[in-house]
Amino acid sequence: MSERIEINEVSPRDGLQMEKAFVPTENKIAYVDALSACGFARIEVTSYTSPKAIPTLADADAVMAGIRRVPGVRYTALVPNLRGMERAVEGRPDEINLVMSVSETHNRANLRMTREQSLAGLQDVLREAGKLGLPCNVSLSTAFGCPFEGEIAQAEVLRLAQALADSGAAGITACDTTGMAHPEQVRQLSTVLQRQLQIPVTIHLHNTRGMGLANALAAYGAGIRRFDAASGGLGGCPYAPGASGNVSTEELVHMFDSMGCETGVDVDKLLEVVGTLSGLVGRPVTSQLAQAGTRLRRYAPPAWLAEKFPHA
Ligand code: COA
Ligand code: ZN
Report yes or no on 220 lying in a domain.
yes
Query: Is residue 68 assigned to a domain?
Result: yes
The pLDDT, as a whole number, for residue 311 is 86
Q: What is the pLDDT of residues 116-175, one digit of tens each?
A: 999 999 999 999 999 999 999 999 999 999 999 999 999 999 999 999 999 999 999 999
CA 82 to centroid of ligand 2, rounded, Å: 21
Alpha-carbon distance 269 to 2, whole Å? 21
Active site residue 237: yes
Q: Is the CB of 139 under 6 A from ligand 1?
A: no
Is the CB of 108 inside a 6 Å radius of any atom of ligand 1?
no
Question: 295 CB less than 6 Å from ligand 1?
Answer: no
pLDDT mean over 20-45: 98
Cβ of 50 below 6 Å from ligand 1 = yes
The identity of residue 207, as a single letter, is N
Angstrom distance (rounded) from CA 278 to CA 17? 16
Per-residue pLDDT for 266 more than 60? yes
Ligand nearest to the CA of 15: 2
The confidence score (pLDDT) of residue 245 equals: 98
Residues of 62-100 as b/e, b for ≥16 C-beta within 10 angstroms?
A: ebbebbeeeeebbbbbbbbbeebbebbbebebebbbbbb
- Phi/psi for 58 (5° steps) reads -65, -15
HEC sequence for 10-39: CHHHHHHHCCCCCCCHHHHHHHHHHHHCCC
Q: How many CA atoms lie within 13 A of 185 on its CB side?
A: 18
Q: Residue 138 is part of a domain; what is its CATH number?
A: 3.20.20.70
Find the mean pLDDT for residues 232-237: 98
What CA–CA distances, in Å, run from 160 to 1, 12, 81, 121, 228?
Answer: 34, 27, 16, 13, 20
> What mean pLDDT value characterizes the chain?
97
Domain assignment of residue 42, yes or no: yes
Residue ID of nearest Cα to ligand 1 atom 34: 111
Domain of 261 in residue numbering reads as 6-308
Rounded to whole angstroms, the Cα distance separating 244 from 207 reads 7
Query: Which residue's alpha carbon is nearest to atom 12 within ligand 1?
Result: 50
Name the residue with the closest Cα to ligand 1, atom 37: 111
Provide the pLDDT for residue 1: 53
Indicate which atom in ligand 1 lies nearest the CA of residue 13: 47
Q: Is 117 in the pocket of ligand 1 (CB under 6 A)?
A: no
Q: Which candidate, 171, 185, 287, 268, places its Cα nearest to that of 229?
A: 287
Average pLDDT (292-304) is: 96
With a 6 Å cutoff on the Cβ, whether 173 touches ligand 1 is no
List Cβ neighbours of 219 (8 Å cut-off, separation of 6 or more). 186, 187, 190, 203, 205, 227
The residues whose Cβ lies within 5 A of ligand 2, an ion, are 14
Query: Using 50, 70 and 90 to split pLDDT, how confident is the model at 3?
Result: confident
Q: In this predicted model, what pLDDT tens digit does every residue of 182-216 receive, in sequence order? A: 999 999 999 999 999 999 999 999 999 999 999 99
- Exposure of 154 by Cβ count < 10 A (0-12 exposed, 13-18 middle, 19+ buried)? middle
Domains contained in the chain, number: 1
Residue 84: per-residue pLDDT: 98
Mean pLDDT, range 53-66, rounded to an integer: 98
Nearest protein Cα to ligand 1, atom 48: 237
User: Of 135, 149, 133, which Cα lies nearest the Cα of 97?
Assistant: 135
Residue 79 lies in a domain: yes
Give the integer Cα–Cα distance in Å for 304 and 278. 37
The bound ligand whose nearest atom lies closest to the alpha carbon of 243 is 2
Q: Is residue 1 part of a domain?
A: no
257 located within any domain: yes
Nearest ligand (C-alpha, residue 83): 1
Q: State mean pLDDT over 177-186.
A: 98
Question: What beta strand segments (E) does 92-225 contain?
Answer: 96-101, 136-141, 171-175, 201-204
